[in-house]
A and B are shown apart, each in its own frame.
Chain A
Amino acid sequence: MKKIIALMLTGCMFAALAGCAVAPAPAPAAPAAAEETAEEAAPAEEAAPAEEAAPAEGLIKVGVVNNPPSESGYREANVNDFANVFTEENGYDAKFFYSIKNDEQLSAARQFITDGIDYLLVSAAETTGWDAVLKDAQDAGVGVFLFDRMIDCDPELFEAAVVSDMAQEGETAVNWLLSLDLPEYNVIHIQGAMGSDAQLGRTGALDEQFESGKMNKVVQQTATWDEAEAKKIVESVINSKEPFNVIYAENDGMAKGAVAALDEAGITHGVDKDVVVMGFDCNKWALRELLAGNWNYDGQCSPFQAQVISDMIQTLQSGGTIEGLNDAKQIISVEKGFDAREITEEDIETYGLGE
């Protein structure tokens, strides 16, 4: 009996060892399988082109590695943007892959290179680990573009990167606020989750104004992107009876929370009213608040990078060189800020996120 058990255990051990040896091997071929898992997260129509993959004549083959649309409203818009620009009508044969995991993204990128794409477009889940794949791409003559997120690597390995500058978003918003030329600035500053990219960028410019004394900090508090918490923060200021005339919320949801507190307290807000309301992210519902004059400003974090990349690819295809890059080979997306006095229905349709 013992012998049999011993034999079985040995068998198990060998099987386990064999499993270890075999498991990593199919990794490069994984994208096909991984795409199926990604399909759950990605809307079906976007995953479909990857499966058909009928290489038509004269089309530019492009492989897009991105994060899944379920990540956020931003990502949803970003994914749709790429799906709308890299179409057959525009002369592209595009394959898409979505994952929030770096290793899955890496093996998908390898598979794309093996499939013989002309250009690889990457928004990496993590900033590290991409050197080898990008080197492979270079050896295979594949042009690499980064979008939305930078990768820690030698700039020689990619053609260009199209990224957002969070600090610039904050500056655009604060400059707009200064342009209002209010007699005094008593600001309630509601921050996002401390330490996130968006929070740091959007806080920076306003902090400078507080330090220079141009604006008066009534309260600066984090609501960690939570709408209800933002409402409580504004309520506590209202209850303290301290005067304020600007609410600078670092996203739309928190601005909505702040406005709810104002409404309950009978304080008017919006264009030509007592309190100036500022939000970020440009959700469609938020832009409609702007159009109705209930809010004053909404800052954009542009998810639309596809057209810029498409233009660059066309330049390369026609034998030109890409211009307008900075030292790190980046192109900074132009971030818009919407003013309630100027926004139009068309802007909401073009730039609004979500429904």
Chain B
Amino acid sequence: MSKNKQSGFFANYTQLLIPLIAIIILVIFNLFRDPSFFSVSLASNNNGQPVLQGNLISILNGASELVILAMGMTLVTAASGGQDISVGALAAIAGSVFVKVLKGGASISPFTVILAVILCCAVAMIFGSFNGMLVSVFGIQPMIATLILFTCGRSIAYWINGGATPTVESPIINAIGSFIPGIPVPTPILIVILTGILFCVLFRLTTLRLYIQSVGINQRAARLNGINYVGIKLLAFMILGACCAVAGVIGVSRLSLINHETLLINIEMDAILAVAIGGNSLGGGKFRMLGSVLGAYAIQMLTITLYAMKVPSTDVKAYKAVVIIILVVMGSPVVKEAFDRRLKKYRDKHQTLTGKEAA
């Protein structure tokens, strides 16, 4: 009985095995290369505030936008069985709205910043629901539906502000993007933790998780059970929209500037990859958000490792591709099944052996 329970426990967590293995291998590799790679030190920045420093902080900090987008992408993937490829463009739109509102006011006060965040969240959720409507009401493939915003999103972001790279200078923006005075942990990390807690509470208190999974597994069966699948899909896309807004705000605040062409560029592919590395089925259904989060950190760790190794600029993408191929193949059903068979064979053999001994 206890054994069954144990294997059940492991079965719950095998999904997290691939991203965990990836992270552990990268950690070992880096420690081997440079033992002080993960050392964290307390230093003071140019404003004289104490701040934490080190590769570990860089990885956690740098992955923030990707982690938040990967969380939202997990929900969309689970509910619709497809991916949203417009998240980068939508984050650029949200960022532009954020900057536009801040520049509209005479001075930047905490009130205008909150207003700007709320407004850009609202705009991003409207765009998200546009994507969601195409997918849920009109039944268009998610990748095709979001291709529209992927194509025109950055142009829309340009129209909102007009200039090439508008800047907003303010201590409040700086606090969102780097450090709150007195707190040595980068603010984006805190925002990620807060978002994670929000999702945990949401899944604890509501049946959202169950509904999303049932819609993703079988839409018709879900409907027959009284679940409004159109609404659930729409909701998933709107939550992803809000995630895009948060990521956009972080991205803009990091440097107090928005470049609509390069803000979070190509992040949609990394977000989808994080979901896949996290062991979630890209065809929808059951999901585990922690997997996507670990996947996102693994991707960021890979990037920072390549920078630290000083891989030439022209080769970075090739190296990344090789590692990703290995990870994806490791997580593929064929390899998984083969692995499971081996494991079962080994266990059976082991059991018969112990059985004989007992006899």
Residues of B within 8 A of A353 (CB): 164
Assembly CA distance A252 to B257 (angstroms): 11
- Stretch touching chain A among B7-15, B274-282, B311-319: B311-319
Q: Do the beta carbons of B308 and A240 come within 8 Å of each other?
A: yes
Assembly CA distance A221 to B180 (angstroms): 30
**Which of B45, B163, B263, B304 meets A265, CB within 8 Å?**
B45
User: Is B130 engaged at the interface, CB distance under 8 Å to the other chain?
Assistant: no
Residues of B within 8 A of A191 (CB): 313
Residues of A within 8 A of B313 (CB): 191, 194, 220-222
Residues of B within 8 A of A355 (CB): 163, 166
Nearest CB of B to A207, in Å: 12
Interface string of A224-238 (1 = CB under 8 A from B): 111110011101101
**Which of A73, A224, A232, A238 meets B303, CB within 8 Å?**
A232
Assembly CA distance A224 to B164 (angstroms): 16
**Which of A222, A256, A354 meets B164, CB within 8 Å?**
A354
Assembly CA distance A238 to B55 (angstroms): 9
Which of A72, A236, A239, A353 gathers most chain B CB within 10 Å?
A239
Q: Do the beta carbons of B255 and A256 come within 8 Å of each other?
A: yes
Residues of A within 8 A of B228 (CB): none
User: Is A128 engaged at the interface, CB distance under 8 Å to the other chain?
Assistant: no
Q: Do the beta carbons of B304 and A232 come within 8 Å of each other?
A: yes
Residues of A within 8 A of B34 (CB): 240
User: Is B287 engaged at the interface, CB distance under 8 Å to the other chain?
Assistant: no
User: Is B96 engaged at the interface, CB distance under 8 Å to the other chain?
Assistant: no
Q: Do the beta carbons of B265 and A253 come within 8 Å of each other?
A: no
For the complex of A and B, 9 pairs with smallest distance between CB atoms = A73-B164, A222-B313, A236-B307, A226-B262, A263-B46, A239-B55, A235-B58, A285-B167, A266-B45
Assembly CA distance A225 to B166 (angstroms): 16
Nearest CB of B to A67, in Å: 14
User: Is A283 engaged at the interface, CB distance under 8 Å to the other chain?
Assistant: yes
Asked, given contacts A236-B308, A253-B259, A264-B51, whether A283 binds B58 with beta carbons under 8 Å apart, the answer is no
Q: Do the beta carbons of A73 and B165 come within 8 Å of each other?
A: yes
Asked, given contacts A232-B307, A240-B308, whether A263 binds B45 with beta carbons under 8 Å apart, the answer is yes
Interface string of B264-303 (1 = CB under 8 A from A): 1100000000000000000000000000000000000001
Assembly CA distance A232 to B302 (angstroms): 13
B residues 162-220 near A (Cβ < 8 Å) are: 163-167, 178-179
Which of B44, B62, B310 gathers most chain A CB within 10 Å?
B310
A residues 260-277 near B (Cβ < 8 Å) are: 260, 262-268
Residues of A within 8 A of B58 (CB): 232, 235-236, 239
Q: Do the beta carbons of B308 and A224 come within 8 Å of each other?
A: no
Q: Do the beta carbons of B62 and A224 come within 8 Å of each other?
A: no
Assembly CA distance A176 to B62 (angstroms): 33
Q: Do the beta carbons of B255 and A227 come within 8 Å of each other?
A: yes
Known: A221-B307, A227-B259, A265-B45. 18 other contacts (CB 8 A): A73-B165, A221-B313, A224-B262, A225-B259, A226-B262, A226-B265, A227-B257, A228-B251, A232-B62, A236-B55, A239-B54, A253-B262, A256-B257, A264-B178, A266-B43, A266-B46, A268-B46, A285-B257
Q: Do the beta carbons of B53 and A238 come within 8 Å of each other?
A: yes
Interface string of B23-45 (1 = CB under 8 A from A): 00000000000100000000111
Residues of A within 8 A of B53 (CB): 238-239, 264-265
User: Is A165 engaged at the interface, CB distance under 8 Å to the other chain?
Assistant: no
Q: How many residues of A contact B (CB 8 A)?
A: 41
User: Is A344 engaged at the interface, CB distance under 8 Å to the other chain?
Assistant: no
B residues 138-176 near A (Cβ < 8 Å) are: 155, 158, 163-167
Assembly CA distance A233 to B305 (angstroms): 11
Which of A73, A232, A264, A355 gathers most chain B CB within 10 Å?
A264
Assembly CA distance A267 to B47 (angstroms): 10
Main secondary structure of the interface of A (DSSP, over half): helix
Residues of B within 8 A of A236 (CB): 55, 58, 304, 307-308
User: Is B254 engaged at the interface, CB distance under 8 Å to the other chain?
Assistant: yes
A contacts, CB < 8 Å to B: 70, 72-74, 76, 191, 194, 219-222, 224-228, 231-233, 235-236, 238-240, 252-253, 256-257, 260, 262-268, 283, 285, 353-355
How many chain B residues sit at the interface, stated as a range, is 35 or more
Which residue in chain A gives the minimum CB-CB distance to B37? A239
Nearest CB of B to A117, in Å: 30
Q: What are 10 inter-chain pairs, A to B, with CB distance below 8 A?
A: A74-B164, A227-B262, A231-B254, A232-B58, A253-B262, A256-B255, A264-B178, A265-B43, A354-B166, A355-B163
Nearest CB of A to B9, in Å: 37
B residues 239-265 near A (Cβ < 8 Å) are: 251, 254-255, 257, 259, 261-265
Nearest CB of B to A252, in Å: 7
Q: Do the beta carbons of A233 and B164 come within 8 Å of each other?
A: no
Assembly CA distance A236 to B313 (angstroms): 15
Nearest CB of B to A234, in Å: 10
Assembly CA distance A235 to B263 (angstroms): 18
Asked, given contacts A73-B165, A222-B316, whether A233 binds B307 with beta carbons under 8 Å apart, the answer is yes
Asked, given contacts A236-B308, A264-B179, whether A231 binds B303 with beta carbons under 8 Å apart, the answer is no
Assembly CA distance A228 to B307 (angstroms): 14
Assembly CA distance A266 to B55 (angstroms): 16
Residues of B within 8 A of A225 (CB): 259, 261-262
**Which of A233, A252, A260 meets B165, CB within 8 Å?**
A252
B residues 303-359 near A (Cβ < 8 Å) are: 303-304, 307-308, 310, 312-314, 316
Nearest CB of B to A139, in Å: 39
Residues of B within 8 A of A256 (CB): 255, 257
Residues of A within 8 A of B54 (CB): 239
**Which of B158, B262, B307 meets A70, CB within 8 Å?**
B158
Residues of B within 8 A of A232 (CB): 58, 62, 303-304, 307
Q: Do the beta carbons of A72 and B55 come within 8 Å of each other?
A: no
Q: Do the beta carbons of B178 and A260 come within 8 Å of each other?
A: yes
Assembly CA distance A236 to B307 (angstroms): 7
Residues of B within 8 A of A226 (CB): 259, 262, 265
Q: Do the beta carbons of B163 and A354 come within 8 Å of each other?
A: yes
Which residue in chain A gives the minimum CB-CB distance to B251? A228
Residues of A within 8 A of B263 (CB): 228
Nearest CB of B to A285, in Å: 5
Which residue in chain A gives the minimum CB-CB distance to B307? A236
